Amino acid sequence: MSAEYPDGETSEVNLVTAVRDTLAQELRRDESVRLLGYDMGPIGGVFRATEGLYEEFGENRVIDTPLSENGILGTAAGMAMRGQRVVPEIQFLGFFYPAFGQFMYTVSKMHERTGGGFEMPLTVRVPYGGGIKSSEYHSESTESFFVHTPGVRVVCPSTPAETKGLLAASIRSDDPVMFLEPKAVYRAGTQEVPEDDYTLPLDESRTVREGSDITVLSWGARVRHAEAAADQVDADVEILDLRTLSPLPVEDVLDSVKKTGRCVIFHEARRTLGLGAELSALINEYAIDRLQAPIKRATGYDVHFPSHQTEEAYLPDEQRAADAIEAVMSYEY
pLDDT digits (tens, 9 = 90+) for 183-239: 999 999 999 999 999 999 999 999 999 999 999 999 999 999 999 999 999 999 999
Same-domain status, 16 and 87: yes
Same-domain status, 146 and 183: yes
Whether residue 266 lies inside any domain: the answer is yes
Whether residue 200 lies inside any domain: the answer is no
Dist CA 39 CA 61 (whole Å): 14
Same-domain status, 151 and 285: no
- Segments forming the whole domain that contains residue 49: 11-194
pLDDT digits (tens, 9 = 90+) for 237-290: 999 999 999 999 999 999 999 999 999 999 999 999 999 999 999 999 999 999
Question: What CATH number did the domain enclosing 211 receive?
Answer: 3.40.50.920
Same-domain status, 187 and 250: no
Here the contacts of 24-29 (C-beta below 8 Å, separation 24 or greater) are 24/52, 24/53, 24/56, 25/168, 25/197, 26/85, 26/87, 26/167, 26/168, 26/171, 26/172, 27/53, 27/56, 27/57, 27/61, 27/62, 29/197
Which of the four pLDDT bands, split at 50, 70 and 90, describes residue 131? confident
User: Helix (H, G, I), strand (E, B), or coil: what is residue 26?
Assistant: helix
Q: Work out the angle at residue 88's Cα, subtended by the Cα atoms of residues 163 and 181, and round it to the nearest 5 degrees.
A: 30
Same-domain status, 248 and 165: no
Give the count of domains, the chain.
Answer: 2
Radius of gyration of the chain (CA): 20
Residue 156 pLDDT greater than 60, yes or no: yes
- Which 8-state DSSP code applies to residue 90? -
Same-domain status, 25 and 142: yes
293 φ/ψ angles, rounded to the nearest 5 degrees: -160, 155
Which of the four pLDDT bands, split at 50, 70 and 90, describes residue 293? very high
Mean pLDDT, residues 15-22: 97
Which of the four pLDDT bands, split at 50, 70 and 90, describes residue 307? confident
**Of 129, 120, 167, 153, residue with least CA distance to 23:** 167
Q: Which of 138, 225, 267, 304 is catalytic?
A: 138
Same-domain status, 269 and 321: yes
Which of the four pLDDT bands, split at 50, 70 and 90, describes residue 3? low
Q: Please list, in sequence order, all residues whose beta carbon lies within 8 angstroms of the beta carbon of residue 39, skipping any fewer than 6 positions away.
A: 45, 46, 64, 91
Same-domain status, 163 and 289: no
Please tell me the predicted confidence (pLDDT) of residue 12. 96
Same-domain status, 40 and 172: yes
Task: State pTM to two decimals.
Answer: 0.95
Residue 33 pLDDT greater than 90, yes or no: yes
Same-domain status, 129 and 213: no
Our answer to whether residue 148 is catalytic in this structure is no
Question: Cβ(90)–Cβ(72) under 8 Å?
Answer: yes
Same-domain status, 239 and 154: no
